[in-house]
Chain A
Amino acid sequence: MIKAILIFNNHGKPRLSKFYEHYSEDTEQQIIRETFHLVSKRDENVCNFLEGGMLIGGSENKLIYRHYATLYFVFCVDSSESGLGILDLIQVFVETLDKCFENVCELDLIFHVDKVHNILAEMVMGGMVLETNMNEIITQVDAQNKMEKSEAGIAGAPARAVSAVKNMNLPEMPRNINIGDISIKVPNLPSFK
C-alpha cells in the first residue's frame, strides 16, 4: 500500500501532499520536513530507494523518490509494493502531468493543486494503485474536464491572465522554477539512473 505521496521543491517547499493514512497535522508536517531532509542530501548518482525507518512508522516502509529539475516526487510505500514498480509509477505520474499541463512546471503544481490531486486520484485510490496506464488516466481526467467546461462555459479571459502574469513581480520565483528542465520529453524518456 502507498502511505503517502509528497511533492516538494529543491527548497523543501511542499507542492503536494497526500496521505493515505491518518496522521496528525504536526506529524504530517514533520514527515514532509524529514523526508525533504533525507532526500535532499542525497547525491544524484545514488539509488532511488530510501529506507526511512522512523518515517511514517516502522521499518516496513520505504521511500521511493525521483528528482526532476526543481521537484522531488516521493512515494512512501510499505513492503507490499514493488520498488521498481513504484519508480515507474512516478514516471507515469509525471508523464501524465506533463500531458495534462503541456510541459508541466512547478508553477502548474502551485496554481492547480486541485487538478493535480484529481489526476492523482485516478492513479492511486485510497493508497492502492488504481491505474497505471497514462492514456486511461488522461481519458478519465479529460472526461471530468469536459464536464467542467460545459458547466463553466468558455468565458475565460486569456488576455487578462497574460497581463496578470506579466505584471506579477516574482523576485523569488526564478529560483524555484525551471520550466525548461522539468518538462519530460515524452518518447525519449530520461533513462533512470
Chain B
Amino acid sequence: MSDVVEKTLSALPSLLSLDSQAGAGKLSPSSKLGNLIKGITELTSKHEEEKLIKKELESIKEQVASPNTTMRQMKEIMVRAIYCEMLGYQASFSYIHAIKLAQQGSVLEKRVGYLAVSLFLNETDEFLLLLVNTVLKDLQSTNLIEVCMALTVVSQMFPKDMIPAILPVVEEKLTHPKEIIRRKAVLALYKFYLIAPNQVQHIHSKFRKALCDKDPGVMTASLHIYLQLIKENPESYKDLTGSMVTILRQVVGGKLPLDFNYHSVPAPWLQIQLLRILAYLGKEDQGTSEMMYDVLEESLRRAEMNHNITYAILFECVKTIYTVHPKSQLLEKAAECIGNFVLSPKINLKYLGLKALTYVVQQDANLALPHQMTIIECLDHSDVIIKRETLELLFRITNAQNVTVIVEKMLEFLRLTCDDYSTIDLVGKVAELTMNSVFSLGGDVMQPDIPNNFLRLLAEGVDNVEDRQLRLFAVDSYVSLLQGVTAKLPQRFLQVISWVLGEYSYLREEESDPGSVMRLLARLLDQRHTSTETRSWVLGAMTKLCSSPVSVALARDVCERYLSSLYSGSLNTVLRQKAQELMILSQDTKLRARVLPAEGRLESLEVDSSLSFLDGYVSEALAAGAAPYKSPHQRQEDLVQEKALSLEPYGLSLPVSLSSCSITDRLTDRRSPTLLSMSSGLSGNSTELSHQEGSTTLKLEGVKRVWGKDGYLAQQQSAGETPTPLVELPNPLLSPQSPPSQTQKPSSGLEPDQEKRQLASSLFVGLGSHNSVCLVRLPSTVWLFIKHCQSANQSHVFKALFKRFYINSCQSISCISGSPLKEVKGHSVSVCLHTVVMKRASVQVELAGLLSYQRPLGQPQAAQFSLSLSLKHFLRPLTVSTGDYGKMWLSFSHDLKQNLRLVTTEHQEPLTATLDALKGKLHLHVVDIIGSEGIVACRLLQGPGQGQPCLLHCRVNADSLAVWLRSPVPELPDSLLYHCQKALTET
C-alpha cells in the first residue's frame, strides 16, 4: 500500500505543474470534479454509482439554472457534465448551457463550450440552429484560436441545411495566411463534400489550389479529398497521376523538411495516402500504371525494414503494386515483401502478411504455395484474429478439391466461437460466403451434413440483431444469386436457398415487393434441370411465403399449372401433395394464418407423433362403422392374400408396343463374324475413349492441388494420393467397356423368322415382303441397322439409305451419325449404319424416318417408317466398384424412392432373384449384394463413348423391395423406375 501512495504522490508534480500552467480555476483535485471522481472511485457497485451520479446531475442542474453562476463556474460544470455523459448518464438539461457557454464565454470558456457541444449534440439536434451565428462570428474572428475552434466544430457535426450559411466564410479560409487555418478549412470542406457533395461542387478548383499549396501540411490535408474523389471516379482525375507521382517521389527522396520525418522516415502517413491514391488511379489502366512503376519501385527500395511505420508503407506499396496494371518485376519484389511479412515473428506483420496474401491470391493463387507451412501454423494460432484471417485466405483459394477440408476447418472454428455473438456474425458471413462458393463448386459432392450444419447455424440462436443480419445477408445474397443464371447451381444448394428464402424472406419484405422472391422461386420450378426433390423444397418455401396478395396469386398460378396438364406427367406424389397444399392454403387466408402463424417462426414445434389429437375423430369414425386402421405392412399382406389390384401408385398404363424390342433382345445374342464397317467404327470409338480418358487425366494434372484431405500437400508426389470425389467421378464412366464383340450379320440369306418378318413389314410398308429391319445392340452404342434384302425375282440391290431422319418425341432421341453406305459384296445388301442415342431419358421414344431409294431403273421412291424404342435399349451395365459407387451416389442430385414387388423363386433369395431379373431385362450391373441390400448401376447412352449413370439402391423391406434411384439426369430415375416395375411384373 505504501508504495502505491508513494506512486500517487510522485504524480503530484505533474498535476501541479499542469495546474500552475492552466491556472487556478482549472480542474484541481479540490474542485467539484475532483470530489465527484473521488466519490466514484470509492464506490463498489454500479447501483451506488448511479445514485451518486444522479445526485451530481441534480446539483449540476441546480447550478446551471442559477442566475448567479458565472461563465467560469459554468465551464467547470460543463466538464463535470462531460464526465457524467461519458459514463453514460444523460445530462440533456446542460446542452443549452453548453451552447450558451460557446456563445458568450471568453476564448477559454468558449473552448469548453464548443467541446461540450461537439460531445453532446449531433447534426440532427435542433439546438445547433442556435450555434450557427456563433460559429459564423468565430470564423470571422481575428483570433486564430477562435477560428480553429469554429472550424473544428464545423467538421465534427454540422447539419446539411446549414452548410450554405457558412460555406463562403470557410471557403475564404482556404487563402488564409496561416497554414493551420488553411488545413482545417480544407478538412472542413472535405466534410461538407461528404455530407452534401453538390454544395461544394463549385470549389473543386480550389481543392486543386490546396493540392499545390506551398505548405506540405495543407497539401496533405487536400489528399483526403482527392482520395475520396478519385475513389469515386478515377477517370476524371487521371491527369493528376503525374502530380501525385512527383509528390511521392519528392517525399520518398527526402525533399520535405526534417520536421515531417517520423522516426527518420519522411512523412510516412503522407506516403501511405499517396500510394492509396496511385492504386485507385492505376487500377486497370496500363498507361497510368506505367507512370508510377519507377516511384513504386523506389518506395519499396527506400522503405527498409527498420521501423513499424516502414512496414505500413511497404504494405501499402504491395497493395498498390497488386492493384495497378501488373509489372512482373515489381510483382516479384512485392511477393518477396509479402513473404517477409508472413514469416515475420511480429504478430502484427504476420496478420498484415496474411491480409496481403488474401488480397493477392485472388490474382495468383500460386503465391500462397510457398507459405503453406506458415498458413497451417496460423490456422492453429492462439490469436483468433489470425485464425480468422487465415480462414479468409483459405476461403479465397477454395477450389473443388479443397472445399471439404476448408469447410471442415471453418466449421471447427465456428464451433469454437459459438458463444461469442460479436464474432459469430463475421464467422457466419465467412461461412456464408464460403457456402455459396462451396455449394456452387462442390455442390452435390458434399456430405449432406454440411448444408445441414449451415442451416442449423442460421436457424439457431435467439432473435437478436446479429442473427437477423446474418439471415438477411443470406437472403439477399441468395436472391441476387437466383436473379442470375441458376442452371449451374447444384441441387443441394438450390434446396438450401429455397429453405432460407422461405424462412427468412420476411426480413427483407419491407424493402422489396413481396412477389419478387416468389417469382424467383416460381422460375426455379419451371426449369427443367431442377430435380424433384428440389422442387418440393421450393414448393415448401412458397407455402411459407404466400402472405401478400401478389404472392398468393403467383402461388395459385404455380399450383394450377402443377396440378393440371403441364406437370401431370410428373410421377412424384410428394410434389403433387405439396402443390395441393399450397393451392388450398393460398385460397383460404384464415386457414393459412392458423397453419403458418407469422409470429410462430421462432417457436420450435412439438411433434405429437402418436397423433393423439385425432383420437376423437378416430373413435367417432369407428363408432360409425369404419374399419380399424391397418398399417401399410398389414395392408400389403392383405393385398397379397387377396390378390387384389395393385396399389402401386403408378400403374403400368403407358401404351408401349414392345414387339420390336423383344426381337432386338433375341438378336443380341447372335453373333456374326462379318460386317467390317461396324468393327472399324467401333475400333474408332474405342480409341476415342482412351483418348478422352487421357485428356481427363491431363486436365487433372493441371489443376493445382494445394490442399488434400489431411490439410495441405507438401510435396508433389502426394498429390496423386488425394483423390476427391469430383475428380474421381468420371473415371468409372470412362473405364474401358467390355470389348465390342456382338455384331450382327445382315441377313446372310437366312430366312428371317416370322416375328421379324412381321415387324419388318410394319416398318417398310410398301417396300416389299422380303424387307426386314434389325436393331443391333452393341456395348457402347445402339446401331440401327436397316437391311434391305433382295427380292426373289430381282437381282438388283437397292441402294437404300436414310436420306433424312426426322425426330419426334421432343428431341429426346437423336441420330449421331450415319456411316457411308456400304455394299457388302456377295450378300447383295446395302448397309447403312446410324448411331442412335437418347438425348433425354424417357420411357419410350418413337424413331421415325424416311427412307428414299432408287432402283437402278426407275423413279426415286420413298418410304416412311417408324420404330418405337424403349429406354432399355439405351441402357448399359455400368461396371463400378462399391467404393466408386458410394462416391457417385453422393454426387447425384436427382433421386426417387419407390417400393417394388419382389420376385420370388424357389432356389434363390428374393433379393438376388429380383436383381437378377432386373439385370437380365434391363442390362443393369449388380455391383454388390450385402445382406438385405443390393446396389445396382447402369448408364444411359447419351453420346459417343460414355453415358449418364443411374444408380439403384435396393433394400428388402418386408415383402417389397425399397428402391432408391439416383442420377445426375433429371428424368432418368423416373423412366428407369417405370421399366423396373414393368420388368418385375412381367416376371
* A37 nearest CB neighbor, chain B only: B422
With A and B bound together, what is the CA distance between A48 and B383 in angstroms? 10
With A and B bound together, what is the CA distance between A107 and B970 in angstroms? 74
B18 touches A154 (CB 8 A): no
* A52 nearest CB neighbor, chain B only: B422
A14 touches B87 (CB 8 A): yes
The verdict on A188 contacting chain B, using a C-beta distance below 8 Å, is no
Contacts of B231 in A (CB 8 A): 80
Which one of B326-334, B423-431, B455-463 contacts A?
A: B423-431
A160 touches B30 (CB 8 A): yes
Interface residues on A, range: 35 or more
* Residue of B227, B260, B268 touching A85 (CB-CB under 8 A): B268
Contacts of A171 in B (CB 8 A): 41-42
B352 touches A83 (CB 8 A): yes
- Knowing A111-B34, A135-B259, the reply to whether A160 touches B28 (Cβ < 8 A) is yes
The verdict on B213 contacting chain A, using a C-beta distance below 8 Å, is no
* Residue of B14, B124, B315 touching A105 (CB-CB under 8 A): B14
* B422 nearest CB neighbor, chain A only: A54
* A152 nearest CB neighbor, chain B only: B23
A192 touches B27 (CB 8 A): no
Contacts of B137 in A (CB 8 A): none
Contacts of B14 in A (CB 8 A): 101-105, 108
A153 touches B23 (CB 8 A): yes
B25 touches A152 (CB 8 A): yes
B22 touches A148 (CB 8 A): yes
* B183 nearest CB neighbor, chain A only: A130
Chain B contributes a number of interface residues (CB within 8 A of A) equal to: 105
For the complex formed, measure the closest distance between the CB of B115 and the CB atoms of chain A, giving whole angstroms. 5
With A and B bound together, what is the CA distance between A4 and B4 in angstroms? 33
- Knowing A47-B350, A107-B11, A193-B347, the reply to whether A85 touches B22 (Cβ < 8 A) is no
A156 touches B122 (CB 8 A): no
* A101 nearest CB neighbor, chain B only: B14
With A and B bound together, what is the CA distance between A50 and B190 in angstroms? 28
The verdict on A16 contacting chain B, using a C-beta distance below 8 Å, is yes
With A and B bound together, what is the CA distance between A70 and B86 in angstroms? 18
The verdict on B108 contacting chain A, using a C-beta distance below 8 Å, is yes
For the complex formed, measure the closest distance between the CB of B718 and the CB atoms of chain A, giving whole angstroms. 32
Q: Interface code B105-117, partner A: CB below 8 Å = 1, 0 otherwise?
A: 0111001100100
A168 touches B38 (CB 8 A): yes
The verdict on B152 contacting chain A, using a C-beta distance below 8 Å, is yes
Which one of B306-314, B395-403, B530-538, B651-659 contacts A?
A: B306-314
Contacts of B88 in A (CB 8 A): 25, 28-29, 32
For the complex formed, measure the closest distance between the CB of B1 and the CB atoms of chain A, giving whole angstroms. 7
The verdict on B17 contacting chain A, using a C-beta distance below 8 Å, is yes
Contacts of B25 in A (CB 8 A): 152
Q: Interface code A145-172, partner B: CB below 8 Å = 1, 0 otherwise?
A: 1011101111111101110111011111
For the complex formed, measure the closest distance between the CB of B117 and the CB atoms of chain A, giving whole angstroms. 12
A170 touches B152 (CB 8 A): no
A168 touches B7 (CB 8 A): no
Contacts of A156 in B (CB 8 A): 19-20, 22-24, 26
A51 touches B23 (CB 8 A): no
* A121 nearest CB neighbor, chain B only: B152
With A and B bound together, what is the CA distance between A161 and B14 in angstroms? 12
B385 touches A112 (CB 8 A): no
With A and B bound together, what is the CA distance between A91 and B152 in angstroms? 23
With A and B bound together, what is the CA distance between A20 and B190 in angstroms? 14
Contacts of A80 in B (CB 8 A): 227, 231, 276
The verdict on B16 contacting chain A, using a C-beta distance below 8 Å, is yes
Contacts of A10 in B (CB 8 A): none
For the complex formed, measure the closest distance between the CB of A67 and the CB atoms of chain B, giving whole angstroms. 13
- From 27 to 43 in chain B, residues with beta carbon under 8 angstroms from any chain A beta carbon are 27-30, 33-34, 37-38, 41-43
A111 touches B27 (CB 8 A): yes
* A106 nearest CB neighbor, chain B only: B11
* A32 nearest CB neighbor, chain B only: B88
* Residue of A53, A129, A153 touching B269 (CB-CB under 8 A): A129
Q: Interface code A129-152, partner B: CB below 8 Å = 1, 0 otherwise?
A: 111110110001001110111011
For the complex formed, measure the closest distance between the CB of B735 and the CB atoms of chain A, giving whole angstroms. 48
With A and B bound together, what is the CA distance between A104 and B316 in angstroms? 33
* Residue of B15, B43, B183, B309 touching A161 (CB-CB under 8 A): B15
- From 798 to 848 in chain B, residues with beta carbon under 8 angstroms from any chain A beta carbon are none
- Knowing A47-B385, A117-B115, A160-B30, the reply to whether A126 touches B262 (Cβ < 8 A) is no
Contacts of A169 in B (CB 8 A): 38, 42
With A and B bound together, what is the CA distance between A67 and B873 in angstroms? 77
Contacts of B7 in A (CB 8 A): 174, 177-180
The verdict on B272 contacting chain A, using a C-beta distance below 8 Å, is yes
With A and B bound together, what is the CA distance between A51 and B224 in angstroms? 23
Contacts of A17 in B (CB 8 A): 86
With A and B bound together, what is the CA distance between A173 and B4 in angstroms? 9
Contacts of B145 in A (CB 8 A): 143-144, 147
- Knowing A51-B426, A111-B15, A112-B27, the reply to whether A164 touches B34 (Cβ < 8 A) is yes
Q: Interface code B130-165, partner A: CB below 8 Å = 1, 0 otherwise?
A: 000000000000001100100110011100000000
With A and B bound together, what is the CA distance between A125 and B425 in angstroms? 31
- Knowing A125-B184, A154-B20, the reply to whether A164 touches B28 (Cβ < 8 A) is yes
Contacts of A172 in B (CB 8 A): 41-43
For the complex formed, measure the closest distance between the CB of B571 and the CB atoms of chain A, giving whole angstroms. 47
B12 touches A165 (CB 8 A): yes
For the complex formed, measure the closest distance between the CB of A1 and the CB atoms of chain B, giving whole angstroms. 8
For the complex formed, measure the closest distance between the CB of A39 and the CB atoms of chain B, giving whole angstroms. 11
For the complex formed, measure the closest distance between the CB of A30 and the CB atoms of chain B, giving whole angstroms. 9
With A and B bound together, what is the CA distance between A117 and B79 in angstroms? 11
B312 touches A38 (CB 8 A): no
Contacts of B10 in A (CB 8 A): 179-180
B19 touches A158 (CB 8 A): yes
The verdict on B900 contacting chain A, using a C-beta distance below 8 Å, is no
Contacts of B151 in A (CB 8 A): 125
Q: Interface code A80-97, partner B: CB below 8 Å = 1, 0 otherwise?
A: 101111011100100000
With A and B bound together, what is the CA distance between A126 and B88 in angstroms? 22
The verdict on B83 contacting chain A, using a C-beta distance below 8 Å, is yes
* A164 nearest CB neighbor, chain B only: B30
- From 160 to 198 in chain B, residues with beta carbon under 8 angstroms from any chain A beta carbon are 180, 183-184, 187-188, 190-191
B29 touches A164 (CB 8 A): yes
* Residue of A84, A104, A154 touching B308 (CB-CB under 8 A): A84
* A29 nearest CB neighbor, chain B only: B88
- From 34 to 93 in chain A, residues with beta carbon under 8 angstroms from any chain B beta carbon are 34, 37-38, 42-43, 45-55, 59, 80, 82-85, 87-89, 92
For the complex formed, measure the closest distance between the CB of B233 and the CB atoms of chain A, giving whole angstroms. 16
A148 touches B386 (CB 8 A): no
B347 touches A47 (CB 8 A): yes
With A and B bound together, what is the CA distance between A96 and B518 in angstroms? 60
The verdict on B8 contacting chain A, using a C-beta distance below 8 Å, is yes
- Knowing A53-B426, A152-B24, A158-B19, the reply to whether A84 touches B348 (Cβ < 8 A) is yes
With A and B bound together, what is the CA distance between A126 and B224 in angstroms? 12
The verdict on B565 contacting chain A, using a C-beta distance below 8 Å, is no
* Residue of B26, B41, B224, B425 touching A173 (CB-CB under 8 A): B41
For the complex formed, measure the closest distance between the CB of A3 and the CB atoms of chain B, giving whole angstroms. 13
Contacts of B383 in A (CB 8 A): 42-43, 46-47
The verdict on B217 contacting chain A, using a C-beta distance below 8 Å, is yes
Top 8 nearest A-B pairs (CB, nearest first) are A126-B155, A152-B23, A84-B312, A164-B30, A174-B4, A46-B383, A53-B426, A22-B122
Instruction: Give me 19 other A-B pairs in contact (C-beta within 8 A), A84-B348, A128-B190, A133-B260 excluded.
Output: A16-B86, A43-B383, A51-B388, A59-B426, A84-B309, A84-B311, A112-B18, A125-B187, A128-B224, A130-B183, A133-B262, A140-B148, A147-B108, A151-B107, A152-B108, A158-B20, A161-B29, A161-B30, A170-B8
Q: List 30 A-B contacts (CB under 8 A).
A: A25-B88, A34-B422, A46-B386, A47-B383, A54-B425, A54-B465, A88-B262, A88-B309, A108-B14, A111-B15, A112-B22, A113-B79, A113-B82, A113-B83, A125-B155, A126-B188, A128-B187, A135-B259, A145-B22, A148-B23, A155-B24, A161-B16, A165-B29, A169-B42, A172-B42, A176-B41, A178-B7, A179-B11, A180-B7, A192-B346
